[in-house]
Amino acid sequence: MTNPRLLNTLIFISCAGLLGFGYYLQYHEGLDPCPLCIFQRACYFGVAMTAMIAALYNPARFGIRVYGAFTALIALGGGIFAGRQVWLQHLPKSEVPECGPGLEYWVKTLPIAETIKRVFHGTGDCAEVDWTFLKLSIAEWSLICFALLALTALWCLVLRPADPASHQ
């Protein structure tokens, strides 16, 4: 596939679907997201918006690379949050951090840098596995999805559009 507009549209649709499924699990199945889950959602949203703008704008080769790099960078950030959560989920019970106040409390009472630090550290909520599919947790699926999104975005960096005139 050598059409960056189509690739970015697929990235956007994928992220929209993943976010929609996350909201389904939250509001229909009653699975409240932990702080690391919320930050992963923010990264999915960032990837989706960047890909949507790239698809709508349809930039030339340099722009394709800029949008691809930015999309991959956001996906990498989401992968770091998902990887941290996977790591927490595989810790022995005795090493799992204590459950603490939620993200809303941290945002209201702490500076943003401290909030991000605490989110990345994780809580006991982040180590719980409430849902699996094919024996993988939500965080493990999220890590796989972020890796695929980053690889797809990186593909845009090396892409040679089939019709350069259509990307001017």
Instruction: State how far the Cα of 35 lies from the Cα of 25, in Å rounded to an integer.
Output: 15
Is the per-residue pLDDT at 63 higher than 50?
yes
Instruction: State how far the Cα of 109 lies from the Cα of 75, in Å rounded to an integer.
Output: 28
Domain coordinates of the chain in residue numbers? 4-159
CB atoms within 10 A of CB 75: 28
Tokens of 97: 């951090």
Instruction: State how far the Cα of 47 lies from the Cα of 27, in Å rounded to an integer.
Output: 23
Tokens of 82: 């998902």
Instruction: State the pLDDT at residue 59.
Output: 83
- CATH superfamily for domain 4-159: DsbB-like (1.20.1550.10)
Q: What is the pLDDT of residues 77-136, one digit of tens each?
A: 999 999 988 988 888 877 766 655 566 666 777 787 877 776 656 555 777 788 878 999
